[in-house]
Structure 1
Amino acid sequence: MLSSPTRFVRRLLAAGAVLTLAVGLTGAAPAVASGDDGSQPLPGYTISNPPLAPLVVGGTPTTVRQGVHRHAGYIIEIPPKWNGELVMWAHGYRGQTTVLSPETPGFGLRQRLLEQGYAWAASSYTTNGFDIRSGVVSTRELADFFTATVRRPQRTYLSGVSMGGYIIGRSLEQYPGRYDGGLPMCGVMGDHQLLDFFLDYNLVAQALAGVRAYPTPPDYLSNAVPRIQVALGLAGLTPTGPDTTNERGKQLRDITINRSGGPRPGAAASFAVWKDFLFAISTTSGGGSPAQRPGQLATNLLTRYSPNSPVNVNAGVQRVAPENLWQRLSPTLTEVPRIAGRPTAPVLSLHNLGDLFVPFSMEQAYARDVAWHGRSRLVVQRAVRAAQHCEFSPAEAGAAWDDLVSWVRTGSRPAGDRVTDPQAVAAPDFGCRFSDRSAYAAGAGTRRLYAECP
């Protein structure tokens, strides 16, 4: 779980308005040359948007529109019998590549939406990298473009994955009243705390192994990390094999579990799934902007790690201040902004219990922030028993979508999991309520790392 000092830091950062920044909450789109009509990507980027074949709904093909708007590629698809409502799809992180591409809704949602009468639209955003501002602005601009070229929707929903969840969380605060509901899946709902988690893992592992390697050197993965893995007994650890960790390796695992959501079903196996990746994700080089190198916003200055034995990690771990303090504190729509916890429409989120790329603690952080602002009535969160990132079945995503729509239309809040209750999260059957039993029966993905639900 996130420690009290860390929550204090978050409260402190939430008070970033004391900076009295005059720029307000409105984010700026990327600067472009005078007279640019936005029909081309920004300099340095290309757009890949091959023709998308229409689906057939009720014997009639859908209408697909594709193109470039405000420097971002887009896809719009409208069913033959449109119900007048629109779903904006927000894609996840694409790395630092220079090729922009929109994507279709995943987990069977494209077919489901169209069969239910919804139109959908997806933007490539104007940039790649961890650029939340680009995603928030590009998604809004495409929604406005839909209104201008098709018709104003009666309702507009947001749905998406991973970094797209970050975009959804911020969009609902950036444009109050613009969207009617949000379905973030495996989303970065805890904003900067994701970056803190990556920093935590590497600094704690280094402290336990006695290998100081921060800032990370160029040979971090080929030199320092192998020495850390051997020192902690991580090198031969697998999700289904024997436990090769020594005392210090077990301490790293326990600290990682606590920092990623607390004791919960499948936590030890998920650590084995992700232990190597969490070294690979850490870098202190690669670009000047937060979108290119988001780790510059991370900090562990006041973080308290638990358990703190057999090694006194809290006394010996390297402490790191955020390199870019202004962007960490700013309430504005920056490249890597804060999500304050003030949703302006119903939010139903899905998250995998064992995901350590975007850990389950993201949901807990969001729930606490939302509660802090008295808006818990607008958020429902569900845990799914799987260990990969965004590992959802069509049944899980489809049920969440249907429940969100029903909530928006009727006002009847659907059921969810108690993600901030440590006892509930640690219970052996936590996550069973909304996990797809047929996916478990089929042995899909990492489902069998969990005990069968009763």
Structure 2
Amino acid sequence: MNVLLAFALTASLTSAVHLPPTAPCPENVPAGTTCYEGRDANGAYYTIAVPEKWNKALVVHSHGGPDLGDPTPERTRDDLNRWAVMAEEGYAWAGTSYRRGGYGTRMAAEDTDNLRRTVSAMLKPRKVFLHGQSWGGNVAAKTIELYQGYDAALLTSGVLAGGSRGYDYRVDLRAVYQYYCGNHPRPSEVQYPLWQGLRADSTMTTAGLRGRVEECLGVAGSRTPEQQRKLDDILAVTKIPEETLTSHLNFATFTFRDIVHNRLGNRNPFSNTGVTYRGSHDDKALNAGVERFAADPAARAELAHDSDLTGKIGIPVLSVHAIGDPTAFVEHESAYRDTVRKAGRSHNLVQTFTTEATHSAFSDSEYAAAMRSLAAWEKSGVRSNPFLIAASCPVLDRKYGTGCFFDPRYRPASYESRVAPRA
């Protein structure tokens, strides 16, 4: 950081606020950027980056997951490295690890806003933008409903249907997988209802779960006809891509356990009551034999309170989602669109889509195009436009060279077209 900027930052602080210690910047961050690291009073780690040519705007980042382990500073360093394009575009960037692992949208939203207030006191930015990725999209969308202080928000690959229905395809996977495979749990093991995800005292690991999946469904290139038929049935019924089957089952195992045992006092928020499973070689047998369960109304209401969205957004919100997202299906955007429409705030939401089949990150050119469009919308009051975003991306791609894949004409089908509604 140059001397004048360092002096300006220091001079802007009140006597009660101090910059945290400097730290090495991750490798993708542009040269001349100054990075800081710290830990807040609740235990959340944070990383801050201020580029040499700072545009006086701040991007606060809500990360995805949720991570189930304890928070670490590596989480925020990795996020900064992944979204170093924000610093390249001139924004200061700040990300939080959240105070603990595990589910908790409102908790993560509070930690996000704590970071905004902390960094705003340090740097005195003129504008504050919020960026949420994956589950962090849910966190960011909840944050702008609960807290003031944000000028606009970017939601990418967002889990925007909320917890009360946004994981129903994983609920279905948990039940359908067990119907076909019968090894999670095995008949010889202590039995538990599938909505728990996993027994609270189980020592199963992700590697152990992967072993059970391979035991039942085999591996590509060496499956028996029976294994292939089971796999085909599971994929057809749940509409989950093969490449992310195990990761979805991980969520429906370990994150469900966290939600049920650690957050909801062993009560069930999930249901597959009334779902008719279709697409297998024998739907009648599947629907007769699959395990059924109904949600505890109070537990479901608590999960909804924590993570469902009202759509009452008072600032410009731009979302970007890959049409072929194999993790958070693109139909999450339809759920959010309907929620915002019912709240009468459609004028504050613009959704755009890419032809990619990705979830974890878009190209730097696409992020830059989205941020520039969002900033222009916030500044001028003229609503963003998917066609203009798509048209602007190739110009930015001359700098970044990472590709542009926007499809401004795409509109996803309803959420219910992808995930069967519950009774």
TM-score by length of 2: 0.69
Task: Tell me by how many angstroms 1:137 deviates.
Answer: 0.7
Give the direction of change, closer, same or farther, for the CA distance of 1:302–1:246 in structure 2 (3 Å limit). Answer: same
Shift of residue 315, structure 1, vs aligned partner? 4.7
Aligned-partner Cα distance in 2 for 1:299–1:404: 38
Aligned to 1:253: 235
CA distance in 1, matches of 2:27, 2:212: 52
In structure 2, what is the equivalent of residue 111 of structure 1? 87
Matching residue's letter, 2:372: D
Q: Does 1:387 align with 2:357?
A: yes
In structure 1, give the amino acid aligned to 2:176: V
Q: Assess if the C-alpha contact under 8 Å between 2:218 and 2:224 holds in 1.
A: no
- The AA in structure 2 aligned to 1:91 is H
Say whether 1:122 aligns with 2:95: yes
What residue is the counterpart of 1:263 in the other structure?
Answer: none
Larger helix proportion of the pair: 2
1:99 aligns with 2:71: yes
Question: Does 1:235 find its partner at 2:218?
Answer: yes
Structure 1: 4+ residue segments shifted above 6 A: 54-59, 219-231, 241-245, 432-436
Q: In structure 2, what is the equivalent of residue 77 of structure 1?
A: 49
Deviation of 1:94 after TM superposition, in Å, equals 5.4
| CA apart distance, 1:411 | 2.7
Please name the residue that 2:153 is paired with.
Answer: 182
Q: Provide the C-alpha distance between the structure 1 equivalents of 2:83 and 2:243, rounded to a whole number of angstroms.
A: 22
The letter of the residue matching 2:292 is R
Deviation of the 1:246 alpha carbon: 5.8
2: distance between equivalents of 1:76 and 1:110? 12
Matches within 5 A, 1:40-439: 51-53=23-25, 61-71=32-42, 72-93=44-65, 95-101=67-73, 102-103=76-77, 104-105=79-80, 106-114=82-90, 118-151=91-124, 153-175=125-147, 177-192=148-163, 193-207=165-179, 213=185, 214-215=193-194, 216=198, 234-237=217-220, 249-257=231-239, 271-283=241-253, 285=257, 288-290=261-263, 296-307=268-279, 310-312=282-284, 313-322=286-295, 325-330=297-302, 334=306, 337-416=307-386
Kindly state the Cα deviation for residue 236 of structure 1 after the two structures are TM-superposed: 4.0
- How many residues are aligned here? 355
What SS does the corresponding residue of 1:98 show, helix, strand or coil? coil
Distance 2:86 2:356 in 1: 23
Kindly, what percent of the aligned residue pairs are identical? 25
Give me the CA root mean square deviation.
4.3
Superposition deviation, residue 435 in structure 1: 9.8
Please give the alpha-carbon distance, in whole angstroms, between the structure 1 residues aligned to 2:252 and 2:320: 26
Answer yes or no: is the 8 Å Cα contact 2:268–2:300 preserved in 1: no
Q: What is the CA distance between 1:307 and its match in structure 2?
A: 4.0
Contact 1:255 1:305 in 2 (8 A): yes
Contact conserved, 1:96 with 1:292, CA < 8 A, in 2? no
SS at match of 2:359: coil
In 1, Cα distance between the equivalents of 2:277 and 2:391?
Answer: 31
* 1:280-327 per-position Cα deviation (integer Å, ceiling 9, x unaligned): 33226457323999x95332224344447631344543222235x435
- 1:20 alignment counterpart: none
The CA deviation at 1:171 is 0.7
Distance 1:174 1:159 in 2: 15
The answer for unaligned runs of 5 or more in structure 1 is 1-36, 40-48, 261-270, 418-431, 448-454
Matched with 2:419 is none
Deviation at 1:279, TM superposition (A): 2.8
Q: CA deviation at 1:136?
A: 0.7
Shift of 1:381: 2.3
Matched residues in 1 for 2:212 and 2:37: separation? 50
Query: TM-score, with normalisation over the residues of structure 1?
Result: 0.64
CA distance 1:360–1:56, shift in 2 (3 Å): closer
* AA in 1 matched with 2:149: R
Structure 2 unaligned residues grouped into runs of 5+ = 1-15, 186-192, 406-423
The more displaced of 75-84 and 208-217 is: 208-217
The letter of the residue matching 1:405 is: A
Contact persistence 2:71–2:97 (CA under 8 A): no
